[in-house]
Chain A
């Protein structure tokens, strides 16, 4: 199975900071990677699909990028509502697999 390693596992940052979360794939998955924001008591919310495409309704301060097998989710200017756990998902190969998540908090 393809393993996705997310780093850091948790982090805190200040409002207005630029924040980057990383997801590394154990095998090549092309651009078949998406990102989800998960808040307590709610379902995961799609943020980025196909590595770099912004999902519908997602603020433009979010962006996705890829460098080889490393994928990043970047928030250009952190807002309080961005507090959540962020997960990556690969959908290139069965079984689809999720990373273990990065918990993002506001300082």
Chain B
């Protein structure tokens, strides 16, 4: 069955880089877009960006050049990297699968990230 699971550091210091891995099973990354969404106390749910089945990416300009999404199809993993972290980046980060018919049809459980010194 379709499963997604995010793993990440939990605690990151301000100005440092956040790295989260989304490991998937039950489907191929070359057949689906993969989305990243976060939920923060200040802004609620925010779409961050996605990587297409072909490997190209689209980002929310809100994150300007801080954000990078990539993948390793051989490992069934999608990666989110965001630099120059601020305390306002504290929140839960989710990866989600996107199908043509139903957007964000499967989600990971999410990973809590706290940005604090």
A binds B: yes
Main secondary structure of the interface of A (DSSP, over half): loop
Interchain CB contact under 8 A, B104 and A95? no
- CB neighbours of A87 from chain B (8 A): 44-45
Closest to A34 in B: B103
* Assembly CA distance A46 to B97 (angstroms): 11
User: Mask for A94-107, Cβ within 8 A of B = 1, else 0?
Assistant: 11111011000000
| A46 to B105 alpha-carbon distance, docked (Å) | 6
Q: Say whether A89 contacts B61, CB under 8 Å.
A: no
Q: A94-B58, A94-B60, A101-B44 are in contact. Are A43 and B110 (CB under 8 A)?
A: yes
Interface string of B95-117 (1 = CB under 8 A from A): 01000011111011110000000
- Is B60 a contact of A95 with CB atoms below 8 Å? yes
Minimal beta-carbon separation of A31 from chain B (angstroms): 12
Q: Is the interface of B mostly helix, strand, loop or mixed?
A: mixed
The reply to whether A34 and B104 form a contact with Cβ atoms under 8 Å apart is yes
Mark A68-101 against chain B: 1 for CB-CB distance below 8 A, else 0: 0000000000000000000101010011111011
For residue A34, which residues in chain B have a CB less than 8 angstroms away from its CB?
102-104
Q: Tell me how many residues of B have a C-beta within 8 Å of chain A.
A: 20
User: Are B109 and A98 in contact, CB atoms less than 8 angstroms apart?
Assistant: no
- 8 Å CB interface, A22-58 against B: 34, 36, 42-46, 49-50, 53, 55-56
B104 with A56: CB separation less than 8 A: no
What residues on B are CB-neighbors of A46 within 8 Å? 102-105
> Which of B96, B103, B105 has the largest count of A CB atoms less than 10 A from its CB?
B103
A43 x B101 contact (CB < 8 A): no
Q: Smallest CB-CB separation from B61: which chain A residue?
A: A95
- Return B114 CB to nearest CB of chain A, in Å: 16
The answer to whether B46 has its CB under 8 Å from any CB of chain A is: yes
* 8 pairs, A vs B, C-beta closer than 8 Å: A42-B109, A44-B104, A45-B107, A46-B102, A50-B101, A89-B104, A98-B45, A98-B47
Q: Which residues of B contact A (CB under 8 A)?
A: 37, 44-47, 58, 60-62, 94, 96, 101-105, 107-110
